[in-house]
Chains A and B, each alone.
Chain A
Amino acid sequence: MTEHTSSTTTRAADAAPTAPSQGGGASLFTPAPGAAPMWRMVASQARMELRVMLRHGEQFLLTMVIPVLLLVGFSLTSVLDVGPGPRVDALTPGVLALAVMSTSFTGLAIGTGFERRYGVLKRLGATPLSRFGLLAAKTLAVLGVQAIQIALLCTVALALGWSPDPDPAGVLSAVALVLLATAAFSSLGLLMAGTLRAEATLAGANLVYVLMLGLGGVLFPTSSFPAPLEQAASLLPVTALSSGLRTVLADGSLPGWGAFAVLAVWALVCGLLASRLFRWE
């Protein structure tokens, strides 16, 4: 198949046929297949996911702009009754919970839903990156955005006079709550993205965001709700996270097992359902 071309450049004046089969080595396309190491694939995929998330206008609005505006706006005005104590102390834990949810649930669900619709998940399925690798990359990207969000919001809150109790055990339990909540939100987001149409995921994820913002004890504790509603709300993952963070950061005590249990159940149930029902295309 290469008779008519291989002679034109390399072999035309070459009369010494000593190296019998080095002819193909010159081509750009000579096959040299092989997968990169897993860690490199995951690292570059995570970087790509992170860039796409941060660059996306609406997602940036949802994950960065809205939480900062809520924090600044309700800290500096007294439109909203946020409970006793300095306003920023009461608001910061809830806004942090909202920020965590906006990335690991809303952003992840919408992004993944459209990736599925545009055949990106299918195309990635044809590369050496495994599904596990893709999930690992998405998790790293979500955690990366959340780290940026938390750094940003804590800086803004501190500038507004926030004075949390930096108790090491409390900080550890807050980190544990955030990680567990991320697992719960991500599972729920992937469950929606992998089963619904992209538009339905978009609408549903935004609706859930707004509902959780209103009902989830993000801006004010759910203790101001009527008792039945408060009990129902306490089963929401965002309520578990915001009340847990409030216990640690505002009250300076350790969160009860209830918050961990609620988040663990959500993570487990949604994770199982997602792994069963997720369709890649």
Chain B
Amino acid sequence: MDTAAVEVVDLVKRYGATTAVSGLTFSARRGAVTALLGPNGAGKTSTIEICEGFRRADGGRVRVLGLDPVADATALKPRVGVMPQSGGVPTGARAAEWLNLMASFHASPIAPAVLMERLGLNSVAATPFRRLSGGQQQRLSLACAVVGRPELVFLDEPTAGLDPQARMATWDLVSALREAGVAVILSTHHMEEAERLADHVVIIDRGAVVAEGAPAALTEGRREVCFSSTPVDSSALLAALPEGSRVADGATADGRREYVVTTDDAAALGPEFLATVTAWCASAGVLAEDLRVRRRTLEDVFLELTGRELRDQ
């Protein structure tokens, strides 16, 4: 019985001459949180909207709870909750009224009042949607996605533009969904969100998967040696290090340089590697300040894979 919550194979989506998704493949387990992480324009929303049945794929295969999102839409809709990036509620509808409506579409919904309370929306229950703050609109939209007790929910950038309290409330809710056995697919470009919530992270860039795995696995063994000093001859440093090492440097505020030394062979970055770096510094007469070995964060991995330059889209 255990089909994946979502299975996407070689997905392609084009808009005119632009290819938004080009051969994307991933799968999301049931009862787990899967984060689609990527810069703006990476193809996250297109992928999610194809899974939701809103858009049709131009190529590839998509299965949601083992079913086709377009052909089996009627069977899927009661089982899948959806939170769009924005909007989706008539501007004149009141918050509680709209959640009640969404609840009434389902056979055994969560009591809307309980959900309103939990998401801190009680004080705005009678407020029309257009007068809610951005964060309140987001939380109402989240409540609508889960009120029908779905097996699977799609959350498209659920915490974009939220203040820290609202973000925490959303994270708590996602954790509760996961504990209850609900599969969650969320898109985000918020690294901390993916690292904290997700069982499985799929890093997407330019419409394709560039890396995937558990957050710990993605960062595992990825250590680096950092220090700052007066400018040094970094090619000489590199020559002293084992094969496969890399040295990156950047300016600091006080005119010194910040160096990051790492190696492709994760196992090689041990005590000996550190000793090699410090020995070279000693021989070059360089005082390495703030010397430390640090584990790389998901953000480091993400930037390394997707590039550091700013993009228009």
Q: Is B180 part of the binding interface, using a Cβ–Cβ cutoff of 8 Å?
A: yes
Cβ of B87 and Cβ of A29 under 8 Å apart? Answer: no
Q: A33-B149, A120-B90 are in contact. Are A41 and B105 (CB under 8 A)?
A: yes
Cβ of A118 and Cβ of B88 under 8 Å apart? Answer: yes
B175 to A, closest residue via Cβ: A5
Task: Give chain B residues whose Cβ lies under 8 Å from the Cβ of A48.
Answer: 93, 97-98, 101
Cβ of A127 and Cβ of B105 under 8 Å apart? Answer: yes
Cβ of B92 and Cβ of A27 under 8 Å apart? Answer: no
Q: Is A279 part of the binding interface, using a Cβ–Cβ cutoff of 8 Å?
A: no
Bound CA–CA A34/B20 (angstroms): 33
Task: Give chain B residues whose Cβ lies under 8 Å from the Cβ of A45.
Answer: 101
Q: Is A119 part of the binding interface, using a Cβ–Cβ cutoff of 8 Å?
A: yes
Main secondary structure of the interface of B (DSSP, over half): loop
Cβ of A29 and Cβ of B82 under 8 Å apart? Answer: no
Bound CA–CA A117/B273 (angstroms): 59
Q: A34-B78, A119-B84, A120-B89 are in contact. Are A128 and B199 (CB under 8 A)?
A: no
How large, as a class, is the contact surface on chain A?
35 or more
Q: A27-B176, A29-B177 are in contact. Are A1 and B32 (CB under 8 A)?
A: yes
A-B contact count (CB 8 A): 123
Cβ of A28 and Cβ of B176 under 8 Å apart? Answer: yes
Task: Give chain B residues whose Cβ lies under 8 Å from the Cβ of A114.
Answer: 90-91
Q: Is A52 part of the binding interface, using a Cβ–Cβ cutoff of 8 Å?
A: yes
Q: Is A79 part of the binding interface, using a Cβ–Cβ cutoff of 8 Å?
A: no
Cβ of B106 and Cβ of A35 under 8 Å apart? Answer: yes
- Picked from A35, A115, A123, A281, the residue with its CB within 8 Å of the CB of B107 is A35
Shortest Cβ gap from B295 to chain A (Å): 22
Binding site for A on B (CB under 8 A): 31-32, 52-54, 74, 77-80, 82, 84, 86-93, 97-98, 100-102, 104-108, 110, 114, 118, 144, 146, 148-151, 176-182, 199
Binding site for B on A (CB under 8 A): 1-2, 5-6, 24, 27-36, 40-41, 44-45, 48, 51-52, 55-56, 114-115, 118-120, 122-123, 125-130, 281
Contacts A5-B179, A24-B180 known; list 15 others, CB within 8 Å.
A2-B179, A6-B179, A29-B149, A31-B149, A32-B107, A32-B108, A33-B106, A33-B150, A35-B78, A35-B106, A35-B107, A114-B91, A115-B90, A119-B84, A128-B106
